[in-house]
């Protein structure tokens, strides 16, 4: 297992993000801090909600197109960014079994990676499994290369980045790619606003709990005294940006202390913290961004309803 990120680095990054994000107005927190053990469980639960369509749609596309993906790429190395998609990974590994030699899962959580990698290795004797602990937004140039590499970035997680972040992410990835390499990218698509908002504001309140969980993470890791129930979950569509925004809205005037960074945060009643953006795409936009990063969209597959796209992007 390669490590480009220690638990200590992660702690530092959290302190920096919280100091910057809560120390200024409008208040923001990066979406990546949702995913401690509890947050990852809640996200799994979200993927099973009736309202949350992306996971099911992407899985259906993958099920239909895995043989074509194998045929088009002949991948010998499969590198998965954010290795959290167990079932989808297995579908790809099975479809690529004719050519695949090495599987490289990349994640910020070493514990999670070790468990996932051991399971994959057990289920695929003969496959070389090479887990890498890294933040793909920061360590792209350090990630291992490999012959005929297929990089997969699924789930629509690219939507958590702003347009500028997406282009720098894609450019950094492009710089590591050879002509025979490819990127398999999952992207959620622009659709009816009501369906989009429902997917991020489900009736049972699982997404609300997921959203508030970031406050538990900050309490535990930085000794803060957030009372999550004093914040309401907000999900809204921003038409100009074409993204869903999740926010936490302070239900009352309150002061929160974050001792690890010696920060005191005053919230007005109704003041909001933006906790996530989840951009939704149109084909032209993704083509333009891939183009800006020196790549082209070679294949574009959607589900029957046109809800979600799986695309093969090439240098
Ligand atoms: C895992 C980032 C793709 O943006 O849809 C689910 C996370 N947030 N519900 C998304 C999420 C609220 C999800 N991604």
Q: What is the DSSP string of the chain?
A: -EES--HHHHHHHHHHHHHHHHSSSSEE--GGGG-SHHHHHHHHHHHTSSS--HHHHHHHHHHHHHHHHHHHH--SEEEEES---HHHHHHHHHHTTTT--EEEEEES-HHHHHHHHHHHHHHSTT-EE--EE--TTT-GGGS---TTEEEEE-TTGGGGS-HHHHHHHHHHHHHH--TT-EEEEEEEB---HHHHHHHTS-TT-HHHHHHHHHHHHHHHHH-----GGGEEEEEEEETTTTEEEEEEEESS-EEEEEGGGTEEEEE-TT-EEEEEEEE-B-HHHHHHHHHHTT-EEEEEEE-TTS-EEEEEEE-
**CA nearest ligand 1 atom 9, residue:** 200
> Over the stretch 102-129, which tens digit does the pLDDT of each residue have?
999 999 988 889 988 999 999 999 999 9
pLDDT at 110: 87
pLDDT at res. 119: 92
Measured from the Cα of 159, ligand 1's closest atom is 4
**For the chain, which residues score pLDDT lower than 70?**
84-85
pLDDT at 84: 61
Give the pairing of strands 77-81 and 149-153: parallel
Q: By alpha-carbon position, which residue is closest to atom 13 of ligand 1? A: 157
What's the token pair of residue 26? 């409008």
**Taken in order 292, 240, 248, 154, is the CA torsion positive or negative?**
negative
* Residue 282 backbone dihedrals phi, psi, to 5 degrees: -115, 155
Q: Whose CA is nearest to atom 2 of ligand 1?
A: 157
CA of 160 from ligand 1 middle (Å) equals 8
- As a whole number of angstroms, the distance between CA 227 and CA 286 comes to 39
Report residues whose beta carbon is within 6 angstroms of any ligand 1 atom.
46, 54, 155-157, 159-160, 200, 207, 276, 278
pLDDT of res. 112: 86
Of ligand 1's listed atoms, the one at least distance from the Cα of 47 is: 6
pLDDT tens figures, 184-209: 999 999 999 999 999 999 999 999 99
Interval between CA 158 and ligand 1 midpoint (Å): 10
Q: Give the CA count within 13 Å in the CB-facing half-sphere of 196.
A: 23
β-partners of residue 247 are 234, 274
Mutate which of 155, 203, 212, 246 for ligand 1 pocket (most atoms within 8 A of beta carbon): 155
Centre of ligand 1 to C-alpha 154, Å, is 11
Query: What does the pLDDT read at residue 87?
Result: 87
């Amino acid at each position: 297992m390669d490590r480009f990120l220690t638990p200590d680095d992660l702690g530092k990054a959290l302190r920096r993000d919280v100091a910057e994000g809560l120390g200024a107005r409008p208040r923001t927190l990066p979406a990546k801090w949702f995913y401690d053990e509890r947050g990852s469980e809640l996200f799994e639960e979200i993927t099973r909600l009736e309202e949350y369509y992306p996971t099911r749609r992407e899985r259906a596309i993958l099920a239909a197109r895995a043989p074509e993906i194998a045929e088009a790429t002949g991948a010998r190395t499969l590198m998965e960014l954010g290795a959290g998609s167990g079932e989808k990974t297995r579908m790809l590994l099975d479809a690529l079994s004719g050519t695949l030699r090495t599987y490289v899962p990349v994640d910020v959580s070493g514990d999670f990676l070790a468990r996932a990698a051991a399971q994959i290795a057990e289920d695929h004797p003969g496959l070389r499994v090479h887990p890498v602990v890294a933040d793909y937004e920061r360590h792209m140039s350090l990630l291992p290369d490999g012959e005929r590499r297929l990089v997969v970035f699924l789930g629509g997680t690219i939507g958590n980045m702003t347009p500028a972040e997406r282009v720098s992410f894609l450019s950094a990835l492009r710089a590591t790619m050879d002509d025979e390499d490819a990127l398999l990218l999952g992207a959620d698509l622009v659709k009816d606003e009501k369906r989009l908002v429902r997917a991020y504001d489900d009736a049972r309140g699982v997404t609300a709990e997921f959203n508030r969980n970031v406050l538990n993470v900050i309490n535990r890791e930085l000794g803060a005294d957030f009372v999550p129930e004093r914040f309401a979950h907000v999900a809204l569509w921003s038409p100009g940006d074409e993204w869903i925004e999740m926010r936490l809205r302070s239900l009352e005037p309150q002061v929160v202390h974050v001792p690890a960074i010696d920060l005191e945060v005053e919230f007005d009643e109704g003041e909001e913290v933006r906790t996530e953006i989840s951009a939704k795409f149109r084909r032209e936009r993704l083509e333009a961004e891939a183009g800006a990063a020196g790549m082209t969209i070679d294949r574009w597959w959607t589900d029957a309803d046109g809800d979600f796209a799986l695309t093969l992007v090439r240098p």
